[in-house]
Amino acid sequence: MELKLGLKVHDADNVATIFAEGIEKGAEIEVRDQHGQAQRIAVLNDIPYGHKVAIEDISKDTLIKKYGEEIGIASHDIVKGEHVHVHNLDSMRGRGDLEGGRK
């Protein structure tokens, strides 16, 4: 069985980027960080290459952090292993209604 990888770039990240094709619901991936630590996560949805997976439970209205940067806000509760994308993340780019990028 081929190992499917995700990468957590920054200690503050609550998502990892998938670096594998064919990630299907129920698959197990290994998420690695810059310290050489790894954790195995069962994914809850199909996840395309380059997309994000939650590496911890994320409550609604919590900032989504990728590469140490705030990239959006959870529009719903997100469970560890869930695909994180436009269906459950509100972007903060170009949002004049979010003071300082936050609600």
Residue by residue, pLDDT tens for the chain (103 residues) are 678 999 999 999 999 999 999 899 999 999 999 999 999 999 999 999 999 999 999 999 999 999 999 999 999 999 999 999 999 999 876 655 555 544 4
Show the CA angle centred on residue 81, arms to residues 53 and 42, nearest 5°: 120
- 2.170.8.10, 3.30.1490.20, 3.30.70.1060, 2.30.130.110: which CATH number matches 4-101? 2.30.130.110
Give the start-to-end residue ranges of the domains of the chain: 4-101
The pTM for the full model equals 0.88
